[in-house]
Amino acid sequence: MGDETVQGPIEGQGPASAADRAEARVVHRLATEHFLRSARELSDQAGGNLFKGLALRAIVAANIGHTDPSESSVRYAAMSQPGSNDLLRPVSVLAIAGSIGLPYETTRRYVAALMKEGACTRVKGGIVASAATLAGPEAEQAMMASLVNLRRFVRVLRRAGIALD
């Protein structure tokens, strides 16, 4: 495979330059480290079960994915105010399975375990995260760990000379 088949960082931009490929290699390594730290956090938050943690994060993401991040971050900035339940959009187990790439039956078992633990509930239209999942002490700890992890990622990218624009 020649260099001309490697696309640039923006689709349709044409062949990637040597500098782009070098930067991509650094970013890929640093992003992998960031991802692995995130995966460890998810696993720890779900009692050592990474896939159960992924299922829970997929539920939360689907429940609040329709909101405007800038608006909801201002309206619900306090950890004790995750937003009202009417803000949450229920998600089906099938949609959760599709979003994390697991078989339906496997995802259904993880969701059932999460419901048994009180992390989420079944409502008309699907599954929603519980108030404790969205605003409890464990949720605050998870959010703070994510913030620390993201700040570390940005810091190492900047130190590596990667432009963040």
| pLDDT tens per residue across span 75-108 | 444 445 545 556 889 999 999 999 999 999 999 9
| pLDDT value of position 5 | 53
- 68 has pLDDT over 80: no
| pLDDT value of position 163 | 87
- 152 has pLDDT over 60: yes
Mean of pLDDT values over 114-128: 96
| pLDDT value of position 57 | 94
Mean of pLDDT values over 48-54: 95
Report DSSP state, residue 15: B
| pLDDT value of position 75 | 47
Which residues 6+ apart lie within 8 Å of 57 measured at CB? 42
The structural domains of the chain, with segments of one domain joined by +, span 18-156
- 120 has pLDDT over 60: yes
* Helix axes 50-64 and 18-45, enclosed angle (nearest 10): 100
Does domain 18-156 fall under CATH 3.40.50.11440? My reply is no
Cα end-to-end span (Å), the chain: 31
Strands 126-129, 120-123: pairing kind? antiparallel
